[in-house]
Amino acid sequence: MSEAIYTAANITKAFGGLIAVDDVSFDIPEGSIVSIIGPNGAGKTTFFNILTGLYKPTSGRLEFMGKNVTRERPDEITAAGVARTFQNIRLFGTMTATENVMVGEHSRMRTGLIGSILRIPRVRREEDDVRERAHEMLEYVGLERDLHDLISIQLSYGDQRRIEVARALASNPKLLLLDEPTAGMNPNESERFKEFMQKVRKDRNLTILLIEHDMKVVMGVSERITVLDHGQKVAEGDPQEVRENPRVIEAYLGKQAA
């Protein structure tokens, strides 16, 4: 397996007395598709939020592409090359689809306050480029051109999911974190999304980390799966190993079933 692009070492996150993530160590090999699964309340999203800098870990160390990012802010981590989507779609509701994606490019742009006011040719060019790239990105995720300039909240649920992925891709990430991307999709759409993940990884040289409840998606697409339960890592391995691991079955179905 290739080298780790993101390493989380002994991550613990406590909210007061509640330990949401308990001493979890975790590697994401570069170029892979890796999944985190676990029952509700297992600490998956908390762990995601730690990886993207929204939460600071109580203890532990994060390393992205060889650089210590444990104390970095979310925008710094995004600029370094980590992008994400959210479990409950969090688009900027009153912006158009295009503008949403343009915000995703924020960290790639250089224009400052004065530049924005004066709008010198360089700024104008950058703005045009970013807009053009946003359109391309939206087409790439499958949003038709005539929908690009509509307010994002007017679009269908599936389209909103697409915009979220486009917005995440706009920052040109090395690592893409998807939080339950197929939630609310029918089996057909899930299947297509699986193919899309494979394609985007290949096209853009991406590494993908996935939180997912749909086992068909997880088993079909992941090279490695990590199972969390009550904030602890209970199993790790390829889909086959995880499927047969008694602790995983216990976590999902209870002790007797195991």
Partner 1 sequence: MSTISNAVTPIRTTFDENKWMRVGFYALLLVLVVVFPFFFPETDSKVDVATTALAYVVMALGLNIVVGFAGLLDLGYVAFYALGALTAGWLGSSFVYGANNSKGIHFGVSGNLDKVAGIHMNYLVIFICAAIVCAIAGMLIGLPTLRLRGDYIAIVTLAFGEIVYRFALNGDEIKFGNQQLTNGSQGITPVDPVNFGIGDPFNQLNLRPWYWTILGMVLLVLFVNFRLRDSRQGRAWIAIREDEVAAASMGVPLVKTKLMAYATGAAFGGMAGAFLASYTNTVNADQFQFAFSIFILAMIILGGLGSIWGVVLGAILLQLVNRYLIPDVLNDKAQQWFNFDLTQLSFSIFGFILVLVMLIRPEGLLPEKRRKMELREGVGTGETEASGLIEVQA
- Contacting positions for partner 1 (CB under 8 A): 15, 20, 40-46, 49, 52-54, 73-76, 78-79, 83-84, 86-88, 90-96, 99, 102-104, 106-109, 111-113, 116-119, 123, 127, 130, 147, 149-151, 153-157, 160, 167-168, 171, 184
> How far apart, in whole angstroms, are the C-alpha atoms of residue 252 and residue 42?
11
Complex with partner 1: residue 9 or 79, whichever CB lies closer: 79
Minimum Å distance from CB 126 to partner 1? 8
Minimum Å distance from CB 211 to partner 1? 10
Minimum Å distance from CB 240 to partner 1? 27
Minimum Å distance from CB 8 to partner 1? 17
Minimum Å distance from CB 163 to partner 1? 12
Q: How many residues does the chain have?
A: 258
Counting Cβ atoms within 10 Å, is residue 48 exposed (0-12), middle (13-18) or buried (19+)? buried
Element spanning 200, H or E: helix 187-204
Rg of the chain on CA atoms, in Å: 19
Minimum Å distance from CB 154 to partner 1? 5
Complex with partner 1: residue 112 or 121, whichever CB lies closer: 112
Does residue 87 contact residue 182 with C-beta atoms inside 8 Å?
no
Complex with partner 1: residue 106 or 216, whichever CB lies closer: 106
Complex with partner 1: residue 118 or 257, whichever CB lies closer: 118
Complex with partner 1: residue 119 or 202, whichever CB lies closer: 119
Inter-CA distances, 254 with 39, 166, 216, 246, 251, Å: 11, 39, 21, 10, 6
- Residue 17, number of CB atoms within 10 A of its CB: 5
Does residue 238 contact residue 225 with C-beta atoms inside 8 Å?
yes
Q: What are the DSSP calls for 24-39, one per residue?
A: EEEEEETT-EEEEE-S
Complex with partner 1: residue 102 or 208, whichever CB lies closer: 102
